Amino acid sequence: MKEPIIDVDELPEDISFNSTLEITSNNINRYTHGFFKYPCKFIPHIPRWAIKKYTKENDVVLDPFAGSGTTLLESAILKRDSLGIDFDNFSQLLCKTKTKSLLKKEIE
């Protein structure tokens, strides 16, 4: 018998073996996630789940294929330090832009 598809807004920390989850939240462009339509980028739910499950605040998260910076941004939001590596110059610029911390005064 096939397991039912479970609708979730966020991935639960503990996922049962062989379960099928469908992320129903379409809130994927909050913060700076929507800065650029980078090809094949993560939806933020996936790195957010892994960061919450396997790290704690102030841990360091390594993303060896940083791409558009989704994992780096989620790390910052969840109060983790992060290190991203990507050989592509545009990816490097995009990651720096998306994760740049600004003071409220600078934003205004």
For 80-92, the pLDDT digits (tens) are 999 999 999 999 9
Which tops the pLDDT comparison, 21 or 48?
A: 48
Residue 29's pLDDT is what? 67
3-state secondary structure the chain: CCCCEEEECCCCCCCCCCCEEEECCCCCCCCCCCCCCCCCCCCCHHHHHHHHHHCCCCCEEEECCCCCCHHHHHHHHCCCEEEECCCCHHHHHHHHHHHCCCCHHHHC
For the whole model, what pTM was predicted? 0.79
pLDDT of residue 36: 72
